[in-house]
Amino acid sequence: MSKRIILVGCGKIGSRHLQAIAKLSHEVKVDIVEPSYDSQNLAKLRLKEITYDKTNHEFFWYKSVNELKKTGDLVVVATNSIGRVDLILELINKGNTRFLIEKIVCQSVSEYNRLLEKINESNGKGWVNTTPRCFKSYHRIKELLQGEKVICFSVKANSKSGLGTNAVHYIDLFSWLVEDNKIILNGESLLDELLPNKRGQNFKEFSGTITGTVKNGSSLSITFLPNLSDEIILEISTNRLKIIINETNNKITTYGGVKDYNLEFNYEHVSSTSTHIIDNILKNDKCLLPTLNESFNGHSELFRIFNAHINKLSKEDVELCPIT
């Protein structure tokens, strides 16, 4: 029996989800909701870029969720963060219960709590698309870190890579590696300048450093500065070993106790990771991504430090965190 997937938003990221859906080996019907003709055309072009069984899937195009006539076995939400919770609540009211949600989930703790409450009321499930924890390379690295008590984790990149947009990926990866979601963040080393966001004037970007700690003393540092390389460099170290990962160039260097391991790094893109994630949800009602509950603390801490920074610079109280 074929499954039905609803994809809401098929722009830059949503069109990559569509590629991933097309690669599913079993039959699916796909309802695609996208009001922009430009984004619809982008998604159709990206379908032509890949090889898939065109007899296995049916695609239906809509401009609004109000046009949807059936519920989905899974809803993939790839809109930006503005109004996303209201959109998901509308989809829940239509009978949908399973959601794969792009980060950032929303723009405030109150919005996030509304979503969690409604998901729980409907006996639903939601997962947040912070994908690095799904990469095979990071699973191998986590195996090597077993038994290590304290981990130091750092990320460095150029500001144009988007600290506000991408910090949640590394917060989630760190939390997964140390098996502790209760991270406490510090944003005192953010630079005193709000940067434009390529996703539009409703969003802001940040530069500088975010730090974080968890109960066992493991620490996180994320630094995005204008004078740093365009390459995204991660360093994971303990008192026994050090692993340096260049995510941009798929390079990995090891020191200490891991010299004898044949480690490789491969950055996995949405157009491939989502195929496995969606397939797992449809077949097993679970996947490797964090649940909404597991991702809540990382989101709320980001809202807290970014809003505090904006408040300091603008002298105004900000309720909605302008990131997506």
Question: SS3 for 94?
Answer: coil
Residue 262 has pLDDT above 80, yes or no: no
pLDDT tens by residue, 168-202: 999 999 999 999 999 999 999 999 999 888 888 88
Please tell me the predicted confidence (pLDDT) of residue 33.
Answer: 98
What local confidence, expressed as pLDDT, does residue 201 receive? 86
What pTM does this model have?
Answer: 0.96
Q: What is the pLDDT of residue 283?
A: 97
- pLDDT at 270 (0 to 100): 97
| Per-residue pLDDT tens over the stretch 75-94 | 999 999 999 999 999 999 99
The pLDDT tens digits of the residues spanning 46-71 come to 999 999 988 989 999 999 999 999 99
Query: Residue 189 carries which DSSP code?
Result: E
Domains in the chain with CATH codes: 3-130+272-291 (3.40.50.720), 132-267 (3.30.360.10)
Instruction: Select from 212, 224, 206 the least CA-distant residue to 177.
Output: 212
- pLDDT tier at 1 (50, 70, 90 boundaries)? confident
CB-CB contact of 235 with 244 (8 Å): yes
Q: How far apart are CA 168 and CA 93, in angstroms?
A: 28
In the structure, what pLDDT confidence band is assigned to residue 233 with cuts at 50, 70 and 90? Answer: very high
The conformational region for residue 297 under phi > 0 = left, psi -120 to 50 = alpha, else beta, is: alpha
The per-residue b/e assignment along 282-316, b for 16 or more CB within 10 angstroms, e otherwise, is beeeebebbebebbbbbbebbbebbbebbeeeeee
Q: Is the pLDDT of residue 254 over 80?
A: yes
> Residue 258's pLDDT band (boundaries 50, 70, 90)?
low
| Residue 257 pLDDT | 67
- Whether residue 146 has pLDDT greater than 80: yes
